[in-house]
Amino acid sequence: MNRRSFLLATGAALSGRAFEDNGERASQHRLPVTDSHYERVKSYIEEVPVADYHWASSQAYDRFHDIKYGIRIHWGIYSIAGLKSESWPYLGMSFRQRQEYNQLYRSWNPTGFYANEWLDLFSESGLKMLAFTTKHHEGFSMFDTKTRVRSRANWVAAGGPATQPCDLAYSIMETPLRRDVTRELWQAAQSRGLKIALYFSHPDWYDTDFRPASTEPRAARFTTAGFTGSPGNIRRMHGGRARLRERRMPRRSSCCCKGKRTRLTQ
């Protein structure tokens, strides 16, 4: 019996409550229903994971709790504008500000980024793990995704916001930098023996396949409630997660999203 199972069984016996624990109970992987963040995102986070989704093992939980000391990093095009709370301020922007924000990637060129320098600092500071945001809610991917956005909002179209066809990855590979920083961080972490978790947002505020009334952005008004997912966005979301699993984290680390507890490093 591993430590986690032992503690759960002991706690149940001491409290006089008998329950069956298989180490994979869904309630252990979700925020409490009273959590303020869960209240904001529950309308567009699936309650039942897709069939091929696997929770971290009990052994992975044990290893995570033993790590004790790590760092969580949010870094993306929202850093250009110095936004607080990552891309969340996007929801309060005017239509013109949203249009301008969606073009920031065209000029983003953080040539001063060196994964080895970051990981040297983390390692020298005694950190044992890091969590990195591969995609936040505004939809920009910090890795070489092969999925494509086929429809997006034109927030300044004549007559008001409207959807328009497109064909792009909306990723860091389409910036002047053209470097897969997620892969670089993963490789640097692996070479130093640091664990790495990769955060992947299910919500996507760039791809109009995601929005409710996806053929008309004006109907959504971009609030934090009422989002839904179209089949196209669901395919793209699953494709993005599969790309991370395939290229960057075989058996080592996991995707995650807000609204659910973070999946832990394997």
For residue 178, pLDDT over 90 is answered with: yes
For the segment 139-146, the average pLDDT, to the nearest whole number, is 94
Q: Quick check: 121 pLDDT over 60?
A: yes
Residue 183 has which token pair?
A: 């892969």
Write phi, then psi, for 204 (nearest 5 degrees).
Answer: -145, 110
Q: 113 pLDDT exceeds 80?
A: yes
> In this predicted structure, what is the pLDDT of residue 53?
76
Tell me the longest C-alpha to C-alpha distance in the chain.
67
Instruction: Tell me how far apart the alpha carbons of residues 253 and 3 are, in angstroms, rounded to a whole number.
Output: 21
Reported as a single tens digit per residue, the pLDDT across 64-93 is 889 989 999 999 999 988 888 899 888 888
Helix (H, G, I), strand (E, B) or coil at 94: coil
pLDDT tens digits along 224-262: 333 444 445 555 555 555 555 555 443 333 333 333 333
pLDDT of residue 248: 45
User: Looking at residue 245, what is its pLDDT?
Assistant: 56
Whole-model pTM?
0.72
Q: Which residue has the higher pLDDT, 238 or 45?
A: 45
Mean pLDDT, rounded, of the chain: 76
Q: What is the CA radius of gyration of the chain?
A: 20
Digit-coded pLDDT (tens) for 180-205: 999 999 999 999 999 999 998 877 88
Please check the confidence at residue 144 and state whether its pLDDT lies above 90: yes
The reported pLDDT for the residue numbered 262 is 35
Distance, in Å, from the CA atom of 11 to the CA atom of 81, rounded to the nearest integer, reads 48
CB burial of 116-125 (b: ≥16 within 10 Å; e: otherwise) equals eebbeebbee
CA dihedral 77, 79, 80, 84 (to 10 degrees): 120
